[in-house]
A and B are shown apart, each in its own frame.
Chain A
């Protein structure tokens, strides 16, 4: 049954920080081998969507299944690349070591967590570095790379995990157009090899290159193939400000200090 289950099936995912909803009732399904771009203004809940799907933030309501199973059963099939701004670039670590980290949980079986990376893991890491064209930089410290090279290294780590589903949070933020094209070509190639890819993305110019587009601003405003979804009306609804009545309702509810579950779910019923 799990073989045909979609890589992602999110149902009614709702997250509130401090009783302030940042993501309301997000539901969507992503098919195997598809490439999805999630777009929306700053603070629209894009990163929150990824984190809550992965269980890094506990959703207040809703559920997600990956390949038809709960997240903890399939973590080894998913690779996550968070935004790079949180990375400590002074950490004493080389490019090769970062990529090899992708193999940390690859050693299955009893006491797998005590085993050290073996020749096979190193081969995977070398292959991944080769794929992103960073082999010559393997022994550099991560601080000594350009922004685009840093992105490629983190992409290589995700590749090295051997995952079938990639969740990338703003892989193109702060790189120039040429680097973005290089990175996109790499990701596109992974997708054509059958991997499912979800990208949080700011660049509306490239949306037609995706199979699916999600417009998000606290709630899912539109979801579907770019030809149907990328319309002026949807863009206005996504980028043109919040629905003020909903915000007012939340404010009222917050004042009343009702129960958390109630608070978070003030939409779409």
Chain B
């Protein structure tokens, strides 16, 4: 066991220089990319533009290659300008295609970005022999190749994007939530859209060395989607998304560095893990808590059903109580036994002696409260909701578990004496 662990391909010597310059620069740049993408991603996710994010990252290739052909060099700033022009061109083309043909927007996006990406690849092939243009790095990224110039460019872009979003926060929120009203109020919806697109292109281009074109869209939508699971506040979503992005970048870089793996995929998988966790564990929208809530409600309803059955049947002989209750409730005896055990723990049911199962005084009160709820709801449904009296029973059977509302219900109804079937409502 121990030997097999040691044989794992961990390059422990890398721990001796964990703070190498490449690692540090790569991590810093990736965190900046991830935070900026995370914040922009919230807008992309809420405006349902995930496909556009993917399209932009691919469509910038011809811009980058043409700039490289013209300048003959890989300085980040000219490449960035070329890429941004290509990115904006792509969003304008997408708009034109979907407006002037029958093609819907999603197909237009597909047509435009694949065309531009294809043109970019052909252009790469036509570069003169011996020139160094690393298509693989462009496609898949390699954060360890990040140079000081790249880091500085990314820092400047992050600062500009985050400042713009802070300054225009309220407008961007309005435009994203309610574009029609925003336009009616005189906010330029189109300008805001292209501003977001421009910021997204710049961030994606500057961050290409971290994740590459193919995976960068994950850094845009995955942390934002994880944050979306967890909050009902827009500002909180922006902060959480930025935080998730930063954690994905930092952890992903460390994992990649230790295991000598690719940096981009590592970051993306960490972000995906965060998303999966938020999908399962979100207190408000998560799978686990939703199940738990439903299970607790079902258990509560079973408790009360058994309680009420015992109330209406009266004390039951121990020998036959399970079968009597099972017949009354149409429930499995084993389940009734477990429910009775819970009720006993809450002191609502006692085994009076070895021969009889009955309600305690507290249990009787609880059951009476439910009978009251049931008859009050029947009255309410018949008088206020206009249901015929012979149809109110089933609905009241469900609503009686909301007996916390009894007092208010009684007051609204004017404290009636009897329910629609003529039974006395207990007080």
Residues of A within 8 A of B (CB): 51, 54-56, 72, 75-76, 78, 80-82, 86-88, 91-94, 97-98, 101, 104-105, 113-114, 116-117, 141, 143, 157, 161
Contacts and interface: CB of A to CB of B under 8 A. Distances in A.
A117 B182 CA distance: 16
Contacts of B46: 88, 91-92
B186 A75 contact: yes
B180 interface: yes
Contacts of A94: 232-233
Contacts of A88: 46, 177
A104 B170 contact: yes
Interface string B165-193: 00111110110111011111111000000
Nearest to B234: A92
B228 interface: yes
B340 interface: no
B146 to A, nearest CB: 33
A101 B178 contact: yes
Interface string B406-427: 0000000000000000000000
Contacts of A82: 178, 180-181
Contacts of B168: 113-114
Which of B187, B231, B232 gathers the greatest number of chain A CB atoms within 10 Å?
Answer: B232
Interface residues of B, number: 26
Contacts of A87: 178
Interface in B146-177: 167-171, 173-174, 176-177
Contacts of B343: none
Contacts of B174: 101, 104
Nearest to A91: B177
Nearest to B46: A91
Contact of B170 (A72, A116, A141): A116
A255 to B, nearest CB: 19
A139 to B, nearest CB: 10
Contact of B173 (A51, A75, A101): A101
User: Lowest 9 CB-CB distances: which A-B pairs, in order?
Assistant: A80-B184, A75-B186, A141-B232, A82-B180, A105-B185, A54-B184, A92-B234, A101-B174, A104-B174
B231 A92 contact: yes
Nearest to A167: B184
A249 to B, nearest CB: 25
Given A54-B184, A104-B185, A113-B168, 9 more contacts: A80-B180, A80-B185, A88-B177, A91-B234, A92-B237, A97-B233, A97-B234, A101-B174, A116-B169
B185 A75 contact: yes
